[in-house]
Amino acid sequence: MAILDDIKETLTKTTKSAVDKGKKLTDVTKLKSQKSSAKKELTQIYVELGKAYYEKYKDAPAEEDAENFEKISAAEEKIADLEAQIRAIKGITICPACGEENAVGKKFCGGCGAPLE
Ligand SMILES: [Zn+2]
């Protein structure tokens, strides 16, 4: 029954090959996921480092950093302006003392009681 043995051996090899391919695919997927997480962590570290550097040197940036510092400053101003536009549309004013959101027209802050303009 050499033919049956040959068929059995071929099926065993084929099955083993498919299992190996499946395992490799699973391993690669796991490693890609770990790589993605490591990249996100690295990006977060760069962001934190960049923010810390900016905060430390924003008042006296090195000449080679001046352009990027100006871009950061402009982006921060744009965000503040957009937030102000959103507050205006929503009819909200921010308490200068505590930062609480209050309805426009209120005389005192609902959070801390400070007078509102
Ligand atoms: Zn307040």
Judged by DSSP in three states, 73 sits in helix
At residue 23, does pLDDT exceed 80? yes
Ligand 1 centre and the CA of 111: distance in Å?
A: 5
Is 111 a member of any domain?
no
Residues with CB under 5 A from ligand 1 (ion): 95, 97-98, 100, 109, 111-112, 114
Quote the CA–CA distance of 67 and 59 in Å, as a whole number: 13
Average pLDDT, integer, range 43-68: 96
Average pLDDT, integer, range 81-94: 95
Average pLDDT, integer, range 52-78: 96
Is 114 a member of any domain?
no
- Total domains in the fold of the chain: 1
Domain holding 69, by residue range, is 17-91
Average pLDDT, integer, range 84-107: 94
At residue 45, does pLDDT exceed 90? yes
Is 57 a member of any domain?
yes
Average pLDDT, integer, range 36-46: 98
Ligand 1 centre and the CA of 88: distance in Å?
A: 18
pLDDT tier, 2 (very low <50, low <70, confident <90, very high otherwise) = confident
pLDDT tier, 25 (very low <50, low <70, confident <90, very high otherwise) = very high
| Cβ-Cβ contacts under 8 Å for 87 (sequence gap 6 or more) | 93, 94, 101
